Amino acid sequence: MKASARQQGAALLVVLSLVAIASVVAMAGVKSALVDERLAGNMRAMAQAQMAADWGGAERLSETPESSGLSECEVARDKALDGRLIAGWSDVLPVSGSETVGYRYIDCLYQATPLQLIRGQVSDGEQVLAQHFLMVGRESEGDAGLDLPDLVPEECIVVSSGPTWPPIPGVPASCDNFLHGEELKPDGYVAEVAQEFADEPFNPDGCANQGKLVYCAQDQGFEGSMNLASYADADQIVIEYEGQLTLELTDASCDASIATTAAPTVEAHGDVTLNGDLWSSGSLAIYGDAEGSTVVTGTVVSTGGVSTDNITFVPGENAGGGGGGVVWVDRDD
């Protein structure tokens, strides 16, 4: 029996529909394969860029950048992400002789520490296809311990020209009422630091910093009080001030050594550790509270008397100075 024209047409439509569906499925498969291939290519390029950054970081780690006139690392990175390289970037250094994979570097500052920003990159000869950023360097050796006068006996964790009250267990009597009062003053050292900051801009609190050295001066607006937590990254804090100075710290540690022409009072609240040296021209007081633990591990030198309350001295465990560790910061995390 012969099929009608209508039935033949319907069958043809079904066949054409199936062909169309098959074509769509096939095209989707091709498109998916192309997308997968492109994604795989992008991931491979990103991995190569990271490898190039790591390679460059390892090669440049032993180099020490100059600290003057450097841009901030974040500024250099942000501009590079926008396709603009600021002055100072090196030429592309190839990795293992590759013509497409390499790295650039630039000296820069990160949190006041001179480092090198590394950009690992993959290019096609004309444009950068993938990039990865890394900061490397070494922390400064640090100098939290002050260059105290040579006449300070090594066995003295507290040296004062006046009385020390209450007497500190384990401190020889010769460290108390020390005869060389004027020679113990830090005034000469403070004056040297002041000269180094002659051209530096000061903040509204009357302080300025060069790396991890902080200098505060009365004639620059410093008013005689400081929360040490505000300068947690400092190695040394030098304060030129006449009169009573108040230094506060709550539930924290201070690794900085402090030299001042003032008569300082350290007010510690909660659990506090003072790891640096304390050196003053006037009488010096360190007060903890009964609810916390205040530990002093540095050397205390005063041309006046020294008074303490709720303080524990731990000689020979000065944690100041640091070890100059490696800085390796992935900026794409």
Q: Helix (H, G, I), strand (E, B), or coil: what is residue 38?
A: helix
> Which pLDDT does position 140 carry in this prediction?
56
Cα–Cα–Cα angle for 231, 71, 60, rounded to 5 degrees:
95
Q: Which residue in this structure is represented by tokens 């990254």?
A: 233
- Compare 42 and 205 and report the one with higher pLDDT: 205
- Alpha helix (H) ranges present in 146-196? 187-196
pLDDT tens-place string over residues 167-189: 776 677 778 777 676 788 999 99
**CA-to-CA distance for 241 and 333, rounded, in angstroms?**
44
Residues 12 and 186: their CA atoms lie apart, in Å, by 103
Cα R_g (the chain), whole angstroms: 33
| Amino acid (1-letter code) at residue 156 | C
Across the range 81-93, mean pLDDT stands at 93
pLDDT of residue 113: 79
Amino acid in position 124: D
Beta bridge partners of 102: 94, 121
Average pLDDT over residues 221-244: 95
* Contact predicate 242/261, CB 8 Å: yes
The closest of 149, 143, 177 to 161, measured between CA atoms, is: 177
**What per-residue string of b and e applies to 8-22 under the rule 16 or more CB within 10 Å gives b?**
eeeeeeeeeeeeeee
Which single residue is written with the structure tokens 């020294």? 306
- The average pLDDT across 51-64 equals 84
Compute the residue count for the chain: 333
In sequence order, the β-bridge partners of residue 21 are none
Whole-prediction pTM: 0.55
* pLDDT tens per residue across span 291-307: 778 888 888 999 888 99
pLDDT band at 21; cut points 50, 70, 90: low
Q: Would you place residue 317 in the very low, low, confident or very high pLDDT band (cuts 50, 70, 90)?
A: very low
pLDDT of residue 205 exceeding 90, the answer is yes
Start-end of H helices in 121-214: 187-196
Give the residue-averaged pLDDT of 205-226: 96
* Separation of alpha carbons 170 and 126, rounded Å: 72
